[in-house]
Chains A and B, each alone.
Chain A
Amino acid sequence: MIPVRCFSCGNVISSVWDEYKKRIQTEDPGKVLDDLGVERYCCRRMLLTHVELVDLLAPYQ
């Protein structure tokens, strides 16, 4: 799951995750982040580098 807040500055970044995930299918991630108002590079790396593992782990519950 995407972390709720940015590790460095503490700003909430997960609130834009659903929209970000949907829009990067067709758009450039950097532009999407600009558009969603994720300004600082600490917050941007949270979304850019996130790997969703839920689907991978779910069968082992």
Chain B
Amino acid sequence: MDIDIIELSERKARFVLSGVSASFANALRRSTLAEVPVLAIDDVNIYDNTSVLFDEQLALRLGLIPLKANAKNYNYPEECSCGGLGCASCQVSLTLSAEGPKIVHAGDMVSTDPDVRPADSSIPIVELKEKHKVVVEAVARLGTGRKHSKWQAGVAGGYKNMPILIIGDCDTCGKCVEVCPRKILKLEGNRVKVTEIIECSLCKLCEKTCDMNAIKVSDDPESFVMTFETSGNITASELAIEAAGSIKKRAGQLVEILETLG
């Protein structure tokens, strides 16, 4: 297995994963979506809400706000020593009180743990008009995307096979250069050159337009261009590590079960 990083920022990762099967690449993608634990608002106590939004809608909006925190400091409520009753090691409380006229943003929430805060402070929660008031207390808990999409750590995860473009005998007519929607082909002297092979969408338009059948588009079945983003609760590199760790942990559990059977 080999990893070649193309792009790695705080919220986005793009890399070439080679020497693995498609099922492994898919396991990693699914793991980023459903198995990485993050914090999200789970319970909301509404003391006052005279805004244009219904209580339910307000609670849903609060739940979808990504919370930046060190998830390792928290336990799942069902696995916590308090037995799911709620203690400082399995839940965090955030309060929000505001009076109109103003737009309430995610950054206006006050957390009891200074390490837990909304990933984007500019998310509008509700617009309050004159005399409108919102007083809520929200309880954030640890969870995974398997339970609800608000706990989904990775977003827009996907992969494609590594494209392979072979250019044979060519009369440099330039038709393929024009037709390529990703603009990855370039005429250089008397040859057609591929500039960014990773950007190829495998549409095969170049193959179809070529009168000489000089272009061959195929893909490598054991090499993948993987992309995923995070919604800000954890960094992209942490997400990849956590997702791979989750696969490893579950594979280990499977081995244990199989051993008891054999």
Contact B152 A10 (CB under 8 A): yes
Q: Which listed residue (B52, B122, B126, B231) contacts A10, Cβ 8 A?
A: B231
Q: How far is the CB of B41 from chain A (nearest CB, A)?
A: 11
Contact B123 A15 (CB under 8 A): yes
Across-interface contacts of A17 in B (CB, < 8 A)? 124
Residue A9 CB within 8 A of the other chain: yes
Contact B52 A61 (CB under 8 A): yes
Complex: A1 Cα to B103 Cα, angstroms: 10
Across-interface contacts of A61 in B (CB, < 8 A)? 50-52, 129, 132
Q: Which listed residue (A12, A18, A40) contacts B232, Cβ 8 A?
A: A12
| Residue of B64, B120, B155, B229 with most partner-chain A CB within 10 A | B155
Contact A58 B52 (CB under 8 A): yes
Contact A57 B52 (CB under 8 A): yes
Instruction: Tell me the nearest residue of chain B to A10, going by C-beta.
Output: B155
Across-interface contacts of B125 in A (CB, < 8 A)? 1
Contact A11 B122 (CB under 8 A): no
Residue B149 CB within 8 A of the other chain: yes
Contact B123 A1 (CB under 8 A): no
Q: How far is the CB of A61 from chain B (nearest CB, A)?
A: 6
Contact A58:B129 (CB < 8 A) given known A11-B155, A12-B232: yes
Across-interface contacts of A4 in B (CB, < 8 A)? 61, 64-65, 123
Instruction: Tell me the nearest residue of chain A to B145, going by C-beta.
Output: A10
Query: Which chain B residues (120-174) contact chain A, with CB distance < 8 Å?
Result: 120, 122-127, 129, 132, 149, 152, 155-156
Q: What are 22 A-to-B residue pairs whose CB atoms are below 8 Å?
A: A1-B124, A2-B124, A9-B155, A9-B156, A10-B155, A10-B231, A11-B155, A11-B156, A11-B231, A12-B64, A12-B119, A12-B123, A12-B231, A14-B124, A15-B123, A40-B156, A54-B52, A54-B127, A54-B129, A57-B52, A58-B52, A61-B52
With A1-B53, A5-B231, A12-B65 known, 12 other A-B pairs at CB within 8 A are: A1-B61, A1-B126, A4-B123, A10-B152, A12-B119, A12-B123, A12-B232, A58-B129, A58-B132, A61-B50, A61-B51, A61-B132
Binding site for B on A (CB under 8 A): 1-2, 4-5, 9-12, 14-19, 40, 54, 57-58, 61
Binding site for A on B (CB under 8 A): 50-53, 61, 64-66, 103, 119-120, 122-127, 129, 132, 149, 152, 155-156, 229, 231-232
